[in-house]
Structure 1
């Protein structure tokens, strides 16, 4: 890239982010929104078109004077890859710049029966398949962000403690770099933080002050305030699952007793709802299939399933009330397996929230359920990988091949 492009990259970033956050705009509207001259806005749009990052998208309607051509993000040129390591699966997703899914892979596994190296091997193979899918459609991967369940030493990209994985001091970043030799940046992040990033939709004012609670075998999440993820002093914020809510209760994978995830995690639900030999507890069964079966049993009125759901919903509400008293978010977004069972869980969660929050009407905090299913963390990972392009669009090489409208 020439030096002139580098100088202009902050304004290129402003234009690209405005189109992402606010949707298609005319050049004149972009100039007004960003305090630029029309000539400057047109020049910036032309450069982004050359990079294959924006395109013309019809004509602006309802304006005064001669209608202008709308400009929108053209996501086809680049993709971010997100990946996740969890107790029951490894997974990947590739999103293009406009947020569309280009490729997606998931492999069910039981991490307790595998070594950390074996799990990293399986994830690396999924990443290679996803990378190949991206390149097959003519796009370029610009980064990979891996979410992992547990306490992450971000500076060293080492999973310091993964209670439910049974991992301690595993160099996830170095291990994947050695396996992949990727030509693009690779980062590692806590999966709950990535799920929170995925839920904090840019441009949606209702999603800028939220608490995301992500439930699988463990329970974690993230805090988004003013549209920004709060990581805490050393980056360990969001380990909600290890709040003590039942002193003298069950022992947690972390070694302590009575943690929230011992009564609200998927393992707690399955223990209450099914015998050890019940197929719904088979680790080889996908999480989506497990949740579908639990919903089916509940809808048929199975008393054991209903009782288990009520028990877990009550505990989810207890923890949500504690967090609401401390943080007063605009919304608590329940993700992971909580979202898959939202219809069954909502009444008791809201009842416990109302009972447990000191402020009137739960302090204005509403309960929402994620629509991303079990893909929240990998989507957040892909979004983080794509931030490099929004920060500096000149990282992308011009895409002459896109002029004809094909990949």
Structure 2
């Protein structure tokens, strides 16, 4: 999927300061080599400069120059001598630093706003979520609350000495990722909302790039890189929120579609005589399996849209249902069984279309997975193409409701690893970068 910058700010301080006499292609080669070295250190570190040179095919002088610049950008650090068991002077080990460079992933969903900040190694620094009625508040109030959370989180990072390399926002809807505009988000009631532009006006550093993407796609990326099915080259992730979205990893790549709109599985019509959906159609899959559908069946007195209610986080709604189930309310088990059945019916279509090995259940699906999966697996076995269905299993995500914001932070990390020059130089490099012709 295209994760292009949406705020128009240039972040390549090397490019801004480069002499007009330096060929652009040489700068491109250097940027590529910086990324090559950084990725190797990230994946294989701690490792010496000699080991990096041997693995990448770059000569030692070039590696030394590149490492110097990566250190100046706060991306690589020295860990001390590394003894490889061979005779001779030990080399100095290098490792990914990232302690002063972070990534901020955020999410706006129907009933909450969340933020997760990580370092470049993916370690979580800050994790927060607040209950918020985005569905009933409208885009302006929602974006104001999002901006406040961004300001607070960036300020906390600053106190920790961490500068965010970027912000990515997850939204449940169709997103124009090149402009950061939400084309349509049915469950939020948004159309044509310029999220990136609004967030770039928040009281945060003006050079922090802001991007916007679909929540299910970002969550699928998080699952693929660090979730329960990490490394599975063919998987489908289902969000399990008030609405239901899907992220599809096929052949190890996110399936985005011609316009980046692939994965809107919640709005596939599954019951022509079913309930009306907020998208304007009838019988969409999410009207059968979304959290709103479960709440309507299990606790009809507390259904979404039944009157003034305190804003409640999804976890609180699930805790209430679990309490009622423990008290013997038969409606809860009946509602979960019905959702599980429809979950399997819809999953059969996904298996027939995409032939995944794993369907990862996120959001509230994960919380109730032990109750949902038996009914879902039974329906899948009955309706899916036999071989494909037999080879596909449901698993519960362990990322909870934070999968999308975790994936959003991961996109920022990926951008930094792919283009280290997007991270500003903090101190003058010591070798061959500022004076003379830079080494490639």
SS at match of 1:123: helix
Q: Does 1:313 align with 2:332?
A: no
Contact 1:199 1:207 in 2 (8 A): no
Could you tell me which residue of structure 2 aligns to residue 404 of structure 1?
Answer: none
Gap change, CA 1:319 and 1:31, over 3 Å in 2 = farther
| Deviation (angstroms), 1:23 | 5.6
Contact 1:5 1:394 in 2 (8 A): no
| Deviation (angstroms), 1:27 | 4.1
Q: Kindly indicate whether structure 1 or structure 2 has the higher relative contact order, using CA contacts under 8 Å at least 6 residues apart.
A: 2
Contact 1:21 1:202 in 2 (8 A): no
| Deviation (angstroms), 1:217 | 0.5
Q: Does 1:395 align with 2:422?
A: yes
Could you tell me which residue of structure 2 aligns to residue 11 of structure 1?
Answer: 33
Q: Does 1:141 align with 2:168?
A: no
Alignment of 1:99-138 (within 5 A): 99-138=122-161
The two structures, once aligned, show a CA RMSD in angstroms of 2.9
Contact 2:295 2:303 in 1 (8 A): no
Contact 1:87 1:110 in 2 (8 A): yes
Gaps of 5+ in 1: 402-407
Q: Deviation per CA, 1:92-121: give whole Å up to 9, x if none.
A: 221111111222332212123312111111
Q: Deviation per CA, 1:51-90: give whole Å up to 9, x if none.
A: 32123457768x6635765533222121111111111011
Could you tell me which residue of structure 2 aligns to residue 303 of structure 1?
Answer: 330
Contact 1:251 1:257 in 2 (8 A): yes
Alignment of 1:280-299 (within 5 A): 284-298=311-325
Gaps of 5+ in 2: 1-13, 429-440
| Deviation (angstroms), 1:175 | 2.5
| Deviation (angstroms), 1:258 | 0.9
Q: Does 1:201 align with 2:225?
A: yes
| Alignment: residue pair count | 399
Which deviates further from its counterpart, 155-164 or 15-24? 15-24
Q: Please, which of 82, 86, 101 is the counterpart of residue 65 of structure 1? A: 86
Query: Distance between the aligned counterparts of 2:63 and 2:183, measured in 1?
Result: 47
| Deviation (angstroms), 1:344 | 2.2
SS at match of 1:304: helix
Could you tell me which residue of structure 1 aligns to residue 6 of structure 2?
Answer: none
SS at match of 2:246: strand
SS at match of 2:52: helix
Contact 1:231 1:237 in 2 (8 A): yes
Q: Deviation per CA, 1:200-239: give whole Å up to 9, x if none.
A: 2179873332211111000002112233222101111010
For the pair shown, which has the larger CA radius of gyration, 1 or 2? Answer: 2
SS at match of 2:225: coil
Contact 2:299 2:321 in 1 (8 A): no
Alignment of 1:188-227 (within 5 A): 188-201=212-225, 206-227=231-252
Contact 2:116 2:126 in 1 (8 A): yes
Could you tell me which residue of structure 1 aligns to residue 432 of structure 2?
Answer: none
Q: Does 1:20 align with 2:49?
A: no
Query: Distance between the aligned counterparts of 1:39 and 1:221, measured in 2?
Result: 47
The alignment's TM-score, normalised by the length of structure 1, stands at 0.88
Gap change, CA 1:240 and 1:283, over 3 Å in 2 = farther
Contact 1:88 1:110 in 2 (8 A): yes
Could you tell me which residue of structure 2 aligns to residue 48 of structure 1?
Answer: 70
Contact 2:119 2:125 in 1 (8 A): yes
Query: Distance between the aligned counterparts of 1:132 and 1:270, measured in 2?
Result: 37
Q: Does 1:334 align with 2:361?
A: yes
SS at match of 2:371: helix
| Deviation (angstroms), 1:264 | 0.7
Query: Distance between the aligned counterparts of 1:283 and 1:23, measured in 2?
Result: 49
Q: Please, which of 390, 395, 401 is the counterpart of residue 374 of structure 1? A: 401
SS at match of 2:300: coil
Q: Deviation per CA, 1:139-190: give whole Å up to 9, x if none.
A: 1112111111112233443222221112222222222223446321111111
SS at match of 2:239: strand
